[in-house]
Amino acid sequence: MDPMSSVTATDAVLVATGHPLQRAGAWAVAVLAEQPSPGDVTDQHLDDVAQRLVDDVCAAATAPSDSDAYDWWKVLFALYPNSKATHSKRSRLRRDLEPEIAALFARDEPRGTAVKAYPCTFCGTPATTLWTKSNLPMFDTNKALNTLPAAVAGWPACRGCRIAAWALPYGAWVTAGSATVLSCETEAAERRFAERNVLRARRVMQLGFGKLRVGSRPELVALNALRYADVELAATTLWSFKNDNQEPWLRVTHARRAVPRFLAIVQGNAPLRRGWRLLEVALTQRDADGAVVRSGPAEAARLLFESEDGDGRSLLVQLNRVLGDPDRRLPLRHRVDATRLAFTYAKEILGMEPDLTPVATMVADWIEHGGGGPRGRWAEFESAHLRPHQLGQVLDLAKRRLYATGREVPCTEDDWRPFILNRPGGWAQRMLLSMAVVRILQERGVAVSQAPADPNEEARVEQLLSQPMLSSQEDDDYLMGAV
């Protein structure tokens, strides 16, 4: 039976499939070929892109190990550790290596020849070339047994998908040891992500990683791609992986469908925008010389992506740290802006609009009028508010103290029961309760820190808050067309 009899071949020479790595490579080919989409790529475009791949791969594989150009070889090694281009016994002479690399992207045998055609592993197009795991990223490693069926020489791969497999690092956000690709419901965001990374790949080839500016991460590039796509709802997934001969791994994070709408709301609202910038400023880290070693915008972007295993940081947790730190001397308007951002995130992303006013008012009344200094009672609440049982004890204490002083208690046990139950989403409600308490205390002028805001620091922060959100110097270069 003809292996292709059950397969419907497509006339397109390149198809963006549902496989995240193949899809990222297909978009990279489209960008390299200067075509609107993978479906617009022709045979001639594939020839041109294949020649570019051959040139770049040979340049990296024959570069001195102490040169900037060698960094691109490190990228290739992280994806294709046993290929002709990365093997330790490869030739260091371009004239010897080039024919071997070019053969990877050779045309398939024409239909009707003696060579059997099989459906491409990725797109189903008739393919006469069989590839083993040495040429395909994330297809086992030499630490894994070969998963091919018995008597099968390799995975069928059509020419378009073979070129896409090696164009992958151009469309991915790469480091010297890993790559991250994007899957999104909107193709405009996928293309934008690929465009950004194709330019970055060229910088890596020219300058190496050491001379790139600090300040970019795949999450930041992905969010800016979503903003460029101008859609309201779009689920987005980042696939980060390493495939070398040591310890291969795959990590998956996703942004919820409402993230584009949330970003649009924040961008269009000045207080929310300032709240986001306050978060970015707080997350920025500098060395002893004042140089940025961890970009605030990039770290803030990471907070909108959730890990599959739940091992990740929360935007609400980070905002709570900014607002709840008694030694962070922020003026009232900045705290109010950050609190509004937290409530907007909870509403738009988490779908939560809890009634916090009665319980938050009772806690604020107790901190202000419960006897002793407000700072001590704030510390007592802050240390307990994320643990249901301890929070319940503090709320009961606050109620009794207010009764003892003859003050009205604005809530009952029924009002605070949702905050002390161990249930999904309960931690977020407790986080929002803390922020609501901070806002009420700030509006009343109740100080829980030892020192007032520094006017010079306030002016510096105010200037930083006026800058665009989700920005970095690398992104500015990209928008201006720098290469």
pLDDT confidence tier of residue 44, bands split at 50, 70 and 90: very high
Tell me what the mean pLDDT of segment 33-37 comes to: 97
Domain positions in the chain are 20-254, 259-464
Q: Is the confidence at residue 4, as pLDDT, over 50?
A: no
| % of the chain exceeding 90 in pLDDT | 51
pLDDT for position 270: 94
Q: What confidence tens digit (pLDDT) does each residue in 148-206 have?
A: 666 667 889 999 999 999 999 999 999 988 999 999 999 999 999 999 999 999 999 99
Tell me what the mean pLDDT of segment 273-287 comes to: 91
Q: Cα 132 to chain center, whole Å?
A: 30
Q: Is 30 strand, coil or helix?
A: helix
Closest-CA residue to 99 (of 131, 54, 166, 149): 54
Q: Is the confidence at residue 88, as pLDDT, over 90?
A: no
Tell me what the mean pLDDT of segment 345-367 comes to: 92
Element (H, E) at 126: strand 126-127
300-304 contacts, C-beta under 8 A, 24 or more apart: 300/276, 300/470, 301/217, 301/219, 301/220, 301/222, 301/223, 301/470, 302/217, 302/219, 303/279, 304/219, 304/223, 304/255, 304/259, 304/262, 304/349
pLDDT for position 2: 44
pLDDT for position 8: 41
CA distance linking residue 135 with residue 131, whole number of Å: 7
**Strand positions, DSSP E, 308-424:** none
pLDDT for position 6: 37
Q: What confidence tens digit (pLDDT) does each residue in 6-17 have?
A: 334 456 899 999
pLDDT for position 3: 44
CA distance linking residue 160 with residue 40, whole number of Å: 12
